[in-house]
Amino acid sequence: MSFVNLVSGGLDSTLIGVMAKEDHIDHFPLFVDYGQRAAAKEWATCQAVHRQLGLPVPTRMDLSGFGQVIASGLTNVSMDVKEDAFTPGRNLLFLLMGSAYAYQVGASSVAIGLLAEQFSLFPDQRHPFLVQAEQAIAAAMGRQIKVLTPLIEFGKADVVRLATEKGVVGTYSCHTGNSQPCGRCIACLEFQLNKGE
Amino acid sequence: MGGGSGGGLFSSDIRSLEDKVKQRLAEAKGDVSRHVFISFDHEDLDEVNLLRGQAKNDKMDLQFDDHSVKEPYDSTNADYIKRNICEKIDRCSVTLVYLTDKTASSKWINWEIEESLKRGKGRVSGILWARHNMRENDHGYARETQETIHRGAGGRPRGAAAQAA
């Protein structure tokens, strides 16, 4: 069977794609533009790394109107990229769009690159949310779409180790979308924490 | 995509990390259930039921979404029926066309194939019972499905649903 991989051009989702390819599991990469500041940079990176690594060509879904209305540090430059990072409904939006795409292409599951719960900051990164999202999607679509969290037992350090081993390079993981990572946002801080390991 | 705040959990070796990811990805790989839409002429219903039985005997994890339309294609009720059929096709990952000597003259089957392809279904397959003599060149869609037509042995379909993906 196959799954939809929610991709962002970042390390986590790219690693999931690489591991799936290695195991000969068909997958459909889906990039969701929800109006995030980093959308252009993420999408360009996403296409490039998928091409470099021989992964399936990603599909882009344009939901940029979401970020134009829902202001947060990830969608609005006038807000703080770290302190205002919570974007209500973001991960549910990802799972719903990924599941709708899975429904369309006949895939059984949707994969999201969440890490271990002790590193989570927001409610939509935790187990109760995932269970209920899966139930809601099944109720909405009349068909079970599994939510896969291949990295849910990992910290960022573990992701980096495995990605390095697999030759994953050229990913982008800064919420500002600038060429140079800001070093302040949650995504950049993940890597700094890793350096301290 | 999804987020977190970093850190590391394990002193595991790389192989152990790799196994953890593979185990979780295997959930997608291990799901072998198939939702199959069978398009067939209503006169072939009994034979299609035999096909369903055959699939069950093979212990295949299948959910058939059968459809058979007695209503004329150009009837006043056709639009309503088409909407219902589209819903069924959308729920399935593959459309299986049950080919017999009645298939070629069925406007409904032709429409169901076109609709399945339009709706992004990865594959439209056909199954042909050996005792039927299809005249494949007599209709427009046979060539399109020719590569995926499976001929059963001894008048029994074989592995038809295994083509679903």
pLDDT tens digit sequence for A72-125: 999 999 999 888 999 999 999 999 999 999 988 888 899 999 998 888 899 999
pLDDT at B153 over 50: no
What pLDDT does B85 receive? 84
Q: Which residues of A touch B3 (CB under 8 A)?
A: 91, 114-115, 120-122, 125, 186-187
Q: What percent of chain B has pLDDT over 70?
A: 47
pLDDT at B149 over 50: no
Among the residue ranges A40-44, A88-92, A139-143, the one predicted with the least confidence is A139-143
Position of tokens 């819903």? B87
- Token duo for residue A94: 């990802």
Query: Given an 8 Å threshold on Cβ–Cβ distance, is B27 in contact with A121?
Result: no
pLDDT at A22 over 70: yes
What pLDDT does A104 receive? 86
- Token duo for residue B94: 């593959």
What pLDDT does B4 receive? 54
Of A19, A114, A156, the CB nearest to B6: A156
- pLDDT tens, residue by residue, B112-140: 888 888 876 555 555 544 333 333 333 33
Query: Given an 8 Å threshold on Cβ–Cβ distance, is B3 in contact with A193?
Result: no
B106 Cβ contact list (under 8 Å, min separation 6): B41
Query: Given an 8 Å threshold on Cβ–Cβ distance, is A157 in contact with B24?
Result: no
The whole-angstrom separation of Cα A113 and Cα A149 is 6
Closest CA relative to residue B20, chosen from B29, B30, B12: B12
Q: Which residues of B touch A151 (CB under 8 A)?
A: 21
Query: Given an 8 Å threshold on Cβ–Cβ distance, is B122 in contact with A106?
Result: yes
Closest-CA distance of chain B to residue A116, Å: 8
B20 in contact with chain A, both atoms CB, cutoff 8 A: yes
Counting DSSP H helices and E strands in chain B, the numbers are: 5, 5
Query: Given an 8 Å threshold on Cβ–Cβ distance, is B1 in contact with A193?
Result: no
Beta strands in B2-160 (DSSP E): 34-39, 62-67, 94-99, 124-128, 149-151
pLDDT band at A16 (very low <50, low <70, confident <90, very high): very high
What pLDDT does B140 receive? 38
- Token duo for residue A31: 């990039």
Q: What is the 3-state secondary structure (H, E, C) of A13-46?
A: HHHHHHHHHHCCCEEEEEEEECCCCCHHHHHHHH
The whole-angstrom separation of Cα B35 and Cα B33 is 7
Q: Which residues of A touch B21 (CB under 8 A)?
A: 15-16, 19, 150-151, 162
- pLDDT tens, residue by residue, B81-122: 888 888 778 767 778 888 888 888 888 888 888 888 887 655
What pLDDT does B56 receive? 61
- Token duo for residue A191: 């890597």
State the average pLDDT over residues B59-75: 64
- Token duo for residue A120: 């989570």
SS3 B121: coil
Q: What share of chain A is helix, strand, coil (3-state, %, to 5)?
A: 45, 10, 45
Rounded to the nearest 10 degrees, what angle do helices B78-91 and B107-118 cross at? 50
Q: Rounded to the nearest 5°, which phi and psi values hold at A34?
A: -100, 20
What per-residue string of b and e applies to B125-135 under the rule 16 or more CB within 10 Å gives b? bbbbbeeeebe
pLDDT band at A52 (very low <50, low <70, confident <90, very high): very high
The whole-angstrom separation of Cα A129 and Cα A156 is 21
Closest-CA distance of chain A to residue B18, Å: 7
One-letter amino acid of A68: Q
Q: Rounded to the nearest 5°, which phi and psi values hold at B95?
A: -110, 130
How many degrees, rounded to 5, is the angle at CA A116 between CA A112 and CA A117?
100
Q: Who has greater pLDDT, A58 or A176? A: A58
pLDDT at B141 over 80: no
Contact A91, A129 (CB under 8 A): yes
